[in-house]
Structure 1
Amino acid sequence: MTKYKNILVVADPAQDHQPALSRAIHLARKCENVKITLFLAIYDFSYEMTSMLSADERQAMRRGVVMQREAWLQDIIRPYVDDGFDIELIVVWHNRPYEAIIAEVFSKHHDLLIKATHDHDKIGSVIFTPTDWHLLRKCPCPVLLVKEHSWPENGKVMACVNLASEDETHDKLNDAIVEEGISFAELLNAEVNIVNAYPATPVNITIELPEFDPATYTDAVRGHHLKAMKALRHKHGLPEEQTHVLEGLPEDIIPQVAEDLDAELVILGTTGRTGLSAVFIGNTAEHTIDSLNCDLLALKPEGYISPLSPNLTDS
Structure 2
Amino acid sequence: MKDYNKILVVINPMTDHQPALARAVELASKSNASITAFLTIFDFSYEMTSILSSHEREAMRQGVIDQRESWLAEAILPYAKSGLTIDTKVVWHNRPFESVIKYAIEQDVDLLVKSTHEHDKLKSIIFTPTDWHLLRKAPIPVLMVKDHDWPVAGKILCAVNVASEDDEHSTLNTKIIENALNLAAKFSAQIHLVNGYPGTPVNLAIELPEFDAASYNDTVRMQHEQRIQYLANSFNIPLENCHVEEGLPEDVIPELALKLDAELVILGTVGRTGFSAALIGNTAEHVIDSINCDLLAVKPEGYKSPLED
Considering the TM-score relative to the shorter chain, is it more than 0.5? yes
Measure, in 2, the Cα distance between the counterparts of 1:271 and 1:176.
13
Match of 2:160 in 1: 161
Q: Does 1:16 align with 2:22?
A: no
Instruction: List runs of 5+ in structure 2 lacking aligned partners.
Output: none
Match of 1:59 in 2: 58
Alignment coverage as a number of residue pairs: 305
- Report the alpha carbon displacement of residue 275 of structure 1 after superposing the two structures with TM: 2.5
Question: Residue deviations 1:97-142, cap 9 Å, x none?
Answer: 011001001110001000001369x9x97xxx71111111110110
Measure, in 2, the Cα distance between the counterparts of 1:267 and 1:9.
18
The percentage of counterpart residues that share the same residue type is 58
**SS of match in other structure, 1:216:** helix
Measure, in 2, the Cα distance between the counterparts of 1:59 and 1:296.
38
Moved more, 161-170 or 55-64: 55-64
Residue 195 of structure 1 contacts residue 254 of structure 1 at CA under 8 Å; is this kept in 2?
yes
Match of 1:196 in 2: 195
Residue 2 of structure 1 contacts residue 31 of structure 1 at CA under 8 Å; is this kept in 2?
no
- Report the alpha carbon displacement of residue 2 of structure 1 after superposing the two structures with TM: 6.9
* Aligned pairs for 1:70-81 within 5 A: 70-81=69-80
**SS of match in other structure, 2:262:** coil
Instruction: List runs of 5+ in structure 1 lacking aligned partners.
Output: 311-315
Match of 1:68 in 2: 67
Measure, in 1, the Cα distance between the counterparts of 2:268 and 2:83.
34
Residue 159 of structure 1 contacts residue 193 of structure 1 at CA under 8 Å; is this kept in 2?
yes
- Kindly tell me: are residues 276 and 119 of structure 1, through their superposed partners in 2, closer, same or farther at Cα, counting changes over 3 Å? farther
Q: Does 1:236 align with 2:235?
A: yes
**SS of match in other structure, 1:273:** coil
For 2:162, the aligned partner's letter is L
TM-score for the superposition, normalised by structure 2? 0.94
**SS of match in other structure, 1:85:** coil
Match of 1:29 in 2: 29
- Report the alpha carbon displacement of residue 215 of structure 1 after superposing the two structures with TM: 1.2
* Aligned pairs for 1:1-315 within 5 A: 3-32=3-32, 34-81=33-80, 83-118=82-117, 130-310=129-309
Measure, in 1, the Cα distance between the counterparts of 2:218 and 2:143.
36
For 2:11, the aligned partner's letter is A
TM-score for the superposition, normalised by structure 1? 0.92
Measure, in 2, the Cα distance between the counterparts of 1:133 and 1:98.
9
For 1:51, the aligned partner's letter is S
**SS of match in other structure, 1:165:** coil
Measure, in 1, the Cα distance between the counterparts of 2:292 and 2:81.
32
Measure, in 1, the Cα distance between the counterparts of 2:264 and 2:163.
23
